[in-house]
Copies of this chain bind each other. A is one copy, B any other.
């Protein structure tokens, strides 16, 4: 439509991809979306994503805009409700467009995010689950209810606005390392531990370092009461290790419109 960009939600299994963003080397989700959009709309498109997910990271919900290259809008005669099926027919089976709608030309899928929610899944058993291969991080030592309670105490210390420099991977360039955490909690159902965290934004590897820190809290290597000091220190070496990408899911993206 004139003056409108196409807005799509999608989900993908990240295992086969070198992250979302197009790179010089390696297949990315954005590249597959570019190919599908070209096939469906008959023109080169600019595709902008809500986040630069890492290699192997999954998305239950990811958002993109699609516009004609250099134009900022998209024209198509395809009825909006048919667009997901049309794009899916040209996408690999590990990526699916879930919905399509229209947004103003000035909407930006990354800058206009109000908050995002990530999940980090941990398969907590000495016995692996073949159905979760590549879809959860495996932590074999079984964590009891006390350990989960300690992890939740640490989660409470993350809430609110803090400088998360200690929870950011080296080599990332951002103007501010202050982020506001709206929610953080750990649940355990059978052998599956889920860490859910929402914030107004996330630093590079932040969720994976938070999850690694929670494991250190479960192991009593870090106390929940240490978290405020680790935050204040801005020292990456005081937080826990970075857990693998395979457990991480972008779960929800909320816009201010």
Contacts and interface: CB of A to CB of B under 8 A. Distances in A.
* Top 8 A-B pairs, shortest CB-CB distance: A94-B130, A93-B133, A13-B130, A96-B128, A96-B130, A12-B130, A11-B130, A98-B127
Interface string A88-100: 1000011111100
A129 interface: yes
20 contacts: A11-B129, A11-B130, A11-B131, A12-B130, A13-B131, A13-B133, A84-B127, A85-B126, A85-B127, A88-B127, A93-B128, A93-B133, A94-B130, A94-B133, A96-B127, A96-B128, A96-B129, A96-B130, A97-B127, A98-B127
A66 interface: no
Nearest to A94: B130
Contacts of A84: 127
Total identical chains: 2
A214 to B, nearest CB: 24
Nearest to A95: B130
A88 B127 CA distance: 8
User: Could you say which of A12, A88, A95, A128 has the most chain B C-beta atoms within 10 Å of its C-beta?
Assistant: A128
Interface in A205-232: none
Interface of A: 11-13, 58, 84-85, 88, 93-98, 126-131, 133, 135
Nearest to A134: B93
Nearest to A93: B133
Contacts of A129: 11, 96
A95 B129 CA distance: 8
A26 to B, nearest CB: 19
A246 to B, nearest CB: 12
